[in-house]
Amino acid sequence: MYAVLAGGVGASRFLQGLVQVVDPTEVTIISNTADDVEMFGLHVSPDTDIVIYALAGAVNPETGWGLAGDTFAVVDQLQRFGYPRWFNLGDRDLAMAIHRTRLLREGVPMHEIVQELARAWDLEVHMLPMTDTPVRTRILGPEGEIPFQEYMVRMRTGVEVRGVEFEGAEQAQPAPGVLEALAEAKAVIIAPSNPFVSIGPILAVPGIREVLEQTQATRIAISPIIAGEVVKGPAGKMLASLGHDVSAVGVARIYRGLVDVMIIDEQDRALAPEIEALGMRCIVTDTIMSDDGKKAALARVTVEASEGGHA
Amino acid sequence: MYAVLAGGVGASRFLQGLVQVVDPTEVTIISNTADDVEMFGLHVSPDTDIVIYALAGAVNPETGWGLAGDTFAVVDQLQRFGYPRWFNLGDRDLAMAIHRTRLLREGVPMHEIVQELARAWDLEVHMLPMTDTPVRTRILGPEGEIPFQEYMVRMRTGVEVRGVEFEGAEQAQPAPGVLEALAEAKAVIIAPSNPFVSIGPILAVPGIREVLEQTQATRIAISPIIAGEVVKGPAGKMLASLGHDVSAVGVARIYRGLVDVMIIDEQDRALAPEIEALGMRCIVTDTIMSDDGKKAALARVTVEASEGGHA
C-alpha cells in the first residue's frame, strides 16, 4: 500500500504517474482540504477535484485544474447577482460542487463524499480528505489575514506572505482511515506540492505528524522546487518570504524528521550532499513531469526508493 | 395599483402586455410558489422565474420558460452523480437557483429574495411570493401522491388527476405586502393561469381568499381555457378529470364569488350569458396572446374593465 499526501496540480501529475506503475487499488490519497472554499453558497474543494479530474483523464491540460473543454455560463451569469468573477469555476466543475454541497447539507461526512466523487469518476484509488471537519488556510499578508483562494486566485499570489495559518486545525481530527493508511503503508509519499499550504495543513491535523514520525513505512518526499524555482504555484515566493532557502534543501529542512528519502531533480544534483547531511537519503532523477512517460518514470523511481525501508 | 395573481407561462404573457399599458411600478405580482422544488439541493421557483424572465425580455420564446439561448452543461454533467435528467434547468437559469438557495440558507425571507431577483433583472414591477413559507402542490394520481414537478415535467402530465393538495398551505401566512396589495389595489387581476395548480395554491394561503372576497378592488379573471382547450399546460385535463366543464364557464364557476369580471375569448362568445348568470360581468375579446400587440390589447381591455368598479 502507498499513502500519498497530496495538494493540487503537482500532486495530481505525480499521481498520474503512480497509477501507471502500481495497482491503483493499492494507492490511498490523503487530500488537502484546507483550501476548500464556499463560493456562491457552494462548497468547492479545489485540491481534491484537481486530483480526481487528473486521474480521470479529464483535467484541463493547459491550466492543470478544472475540466478540459469546460464552459463558464453559470459564473458569467452569477455576476448579475453581484458575485465577483475572479473564481473561475466551470459549468461541469460546478456540477461536482453542487453534488458535494447537497451531500454535506444532508450530513454526509466528507470522507464518504470524497470517496463517492472518486467513484463517480471511475477512479480505482482510495481517496480520503485529510479531515472531515473544516480547516481553512489563511495567508498572513502585510495588511492582515487573507482567505487562501483570495490570495491564490483573486490576488494571484501577488502579496508578501508573512505567515500561514490553518484555522480549525487544532480542533480537527484525521478523517477515518487516514492514520491507518499512514501506519500500514509500505511507503508514505509526500507529493511535489507546496510544503506550506498543501502539505502543511495535512501535517497540522493533530495525529498525522505523530503517525508519520512513527510509521514503519518508507517516507519519501519529492521536492517541488527545481533549480530554485517552482514548476507551478507560489511555493518559491513563500519559501523566500518565510525565511527559507528557495531550494530542494529548504524543502528537505522543512520535512526533516518526517522523511527518509528526498527525491530531487538532476539540475539540483549538487545539493545532494547537503540534503544527506540532514539525515535522509537523496535520490537524484528527472522530476519534471512534462509527459506521461516522465510522470511514470518519476513514480517508478519513487516506488523503488520505498524498497529501501525506513531510515 | 394593480395586483396580479400569477402562475407561470400564461401569467407571464399577460404581464408582458400589462407593463406596456400601465406604469410597471403600479403593478404588484403575487407569484405562485407552490410548484417550487428542491433539485440537486438547489431551490428552484419555476413560476417566479418564468415571470421574471418574461418581463426582462429574456425568456425562451419557444418554451415560454427558461432563458433564451441557455445551455445545459451542468444538468448534463450532474447525471454522472446519479441525478435524473428530466428536470431541464439551463446553466444561466441555474445561476438564479444558486443565488436564491444561498440567500435562503442565510435566512433571507422569500419575499426579500424575490424582490432582489426582480431588481437584478431590472424589473420595475413589485414582485411578491404568495408566502414566505413552503407550500408544495401534490397531484393525487391513481397510484398516490406525486410532487408537482414530477407530474408536470417527468410524467408530462400523462397521469389522471384525482385531486390536488397544497402541503403546508394551512400553516402558511401571506408574504408581507400580499394582503395590503389585494386590499388597496384598484384592480385585482387573476391571470390566465391554471385555476387549480397556479391560482389554487395562492387562494389556499389563509387570509388571501378572505381579502379577495372583501376588497373594494375590481376583481377580473382572464379565462385560460379557449374554445374548450388550454393554450399551455394541463388545466384542460385537470378540469375534466376533477369533474368540471372544460370551458370558460367551468373556470368562471371556480372563481364564483371571487371575481366581478370574467374575460373570455371571442371563440367563446356564446358562453357569455351563462357566465353572466353566475353573477359576473363577462367581457369578450381576443385573448390569444400571440404577439406583443395582442398581449397589450388584452391588457388594455383588462385595465379598462377595472374602471367599472366592484360588482
Mean pLDDT in residue range A166-191: 97
Residue B25 pLDDT > 60? yes
Query: Which of A91, A105, A116 shows the shortest C-beta gap to B74?
Result: A91
Mean pLDDT in residue range B72-79: 98
- What is the C-alpha to C-alpha distance for residues A206 and B59, in angstroms, rounded to an integer? 53
A142 close to A159: Cβ distance less than 8 angstroms:
yes
Phi, psi dihedral angles at B42 (to 5 degrees): -110, 145
- What is the C-alpha to C-alpha distance for residues A194 and A128, in angstroms, rounded to an integer? 19
Read off the pLDDT band of B87 (50, 70, 90): confident
Q: What percent of chain A has pLDDT over 90?
A: 86
Q: Of B11, B310, B48, which Cα lies nearest the Cα of B187?
A: B310
Residue B157 lies inside a defined structural domain of this protein:
no
- What is the C-alpha to C-alpha distance for residues A170 and B231, in angstroms, rounded to an integer? 62
Residue A40 pLDDT > 60? yes
pLDDT in the model for residue A154: 86
What does each C-alpha distance from A264 to A8, A199, A282, B23, B261 come to in angstroms? 19, 17, 7, 72, 85
Residue B192 pLDDT > 70? yes
Query: Contact A81/B73, CB-based, under 8 Å?
Result: no
Provide the greatest CA pair distance for chain A. 58
What does each C-alpha distance from A11 to A147, A221, B60 come to in angstroms? 22, 11, 44
Q: Which residue has the higher pLDDT, B242 or B171?
A: B171
Mean pLDDT in residue range A102-112: 98
Query: Contact A95/B102, CB-based, under 8 Å?
Result: no
**Minimal Cα distance from A105: which residue of B?**
B41
Residue A135 pLDDT > 80? yes
Phi, psi dihedral angles at A3 (to 5 degrees): -110, 130
pLDDT in the model for residue A311: 46
Residue B165 lies inside a defined structural domain of this protein:
no
Interface test with chain B among A91, A96, A114, A116, by most B beta carbons within 10 Å: A91
Q: Map chain A to HEC letters.
A: CEEEEECCHHHHHHHHHHHHHCCHHHEEEEECCCCCEEECCEEECHHHHHHHHHHCCCECCCCCCCECCCCCHHHHHHHHHCCCCCCCCCHHHHHHHHHHHHHHHCCCCHHHHHHHHHHHCCCCCEEEECECCCCEEEEEECCEEEEHHHHHHHCCCCCCCCEEEEECCCCCCECCCHHHHHHHCCEEEECCCCHHHHHHHHHHCCCHHHHHHHCCCEEEEECCEECCEECCCCHHHHHHHCCCCCCHHHHHHHCCCCCCEEEEEHHHHHHHHHHHCCCCEEEEECCCCCCHHHHHHHHHHHHHHHCCCCC
Enter the C-alpha cell of residue A308: 529501501
What does each C-alpha distance from B24 to B19, B148, B195, B217, B293 come to in angstroms? 5, 31, 25, 18, 17
Interface test with chain A among B37, B71, B77, by most A beta carbons within 10 Å: B77
Residue B256 lies inside a defined structural domain of this protein:
yes
| Segments of B105-217 assigned E as strands | 126-129, 136-141, 144-147, 163-167, 187-190
Residue A230 lies inside a defined structural domain of this protein:
yes
**With the CA atoms of B287, B290, B296 and B300 taken in that order, what torsion angle do they form, in degrees rounded to the nearest 10?**
-10
pLDDT in the model for residue B311: 46
For residue B202, give the CATH number of its domain: 3.40.50.10680
Mean pLDDT in residue range A146-174: 91
Mean pLDDT in residue range B80-95: 94
Interface test with chain A among B37, B39, B44, B81, by most A beta carbons within 10 Å: B81
Mean pLDDT in residue range B137-141: 93
Domain count, chain B: 1
* pTM metric for this prediction: 0.93
pLDDT in the model for residue A308: 61
Read off the pLDDT band of B269 (50, 70, 90): very high
Query: Contact B99/A81, CB-based, under 8 Å?
Result: yes
What confidence tens digit (pLDDT) does each residue in A190-206 have? 999 999 999 999 999 99
Residue A157 lies inside a defined structural domain of this protein:
no
A220 close to A199: Cβ distance less than 8 angstroms:
no
Residue B227 pLDDT > 60? yes
Read off the pLDDT band of A138 (50, 70, 90): very high
Q: What percent of chain B has pLDDT over 70?
A: 99
Provide the greatest CA pair distance for chain B. 58
Mean pLDDT in residue range A176-203: 97
Residue B308 pLDDT > 80? no
Residues 6+ away with beta carbon under 8 Å from B263: B220, B221, B222, B223, B282, B283, B284, B285, B287, B298, B301, B302, B305
Q: Which run of H or E residues covers position B118?
A: helix B110-120
Mean pLDDT in residue range A257-280: 97
Which residue is associated with the grid cell 444532508? A106
Q: Which residue has the higher pLDDT, A240 or A193?
A: A193
pLDDT in the model for residue A140: 93
Q: Note down the domain range covering A199.
A: 2-134+171-306
Interface test with chain B among A44, A81, A106, by most B beta carbons within 10 Å: A81
Residue A44 lies inside a defined structural domain of this protein:
yes
| Of A151-160, A191-200, A264-273, minimum mean pLDDT range | A151-160
Query: Contact A41/B102, CB-based, under 8 Å?
Result: yes
Q: Find the chain A residues whose C-beta atoms sit closer than 8 A to any C-beta of B.
A: 40-42, 70-71, 73-78, 80-83, 91-92, 94-96, 98-99, 101-102, 105, 116-117, 120-121
Å between B154 CA and nearest CA of chain A: 21
Q: Of B125, B121, B115, which Cα lies nearest the Cα of B95?
A: B121
Å between B88 CA and nearest CA of chain A: 14
Q: Which run of H or E residues covers position B243?
A: none
Residue A146 lies inside a defined structural domain of this protein:
no
Set of chain A residues whose Cβ sits within 8 Å of the Cβ of B78 = 95, 98-99
B241 close to B205: Cβ distance less than 8 angstroms:
no
Set of chain B residues whose Cβ sits within 8 Å of the Cβ of A102 = 40-41
Set of chain A residues whose Cβ sits within 8 Å of the Cβ of B73 = 70-71, 73, 91-92, 95
Q: Residue A127's beta-bridge partner residues?
A: A29
Å between B146 CA and nearest CA of chain A: 22
Read off the pLDDT band of B232 (50, 70, 90): confident
Residue B147 lies inside a defined structural domain of this protein:
no
Count the Cβ atoms, other than its own, within 10 Å of residue A54.
Answer: 23
Give the residue ranges of DSSP H helices in B222-291.
Answer: 235-241, 248-254, 272-276
Task: Give the three-class secondary structure for B305.
Answer: helix
Which residue is associated with the grid cell 373556470? B251
Residue A195 Rama label (left phi>0; alpha psi -120 to 50; beta): alpha
Q: Which residue has the higher pLDDT, A153 or A204?
A: A204
pLDDT in the model for residue A202: 98
Q: Which residue has the higher pLDDT, A25 or B151?
A: A25
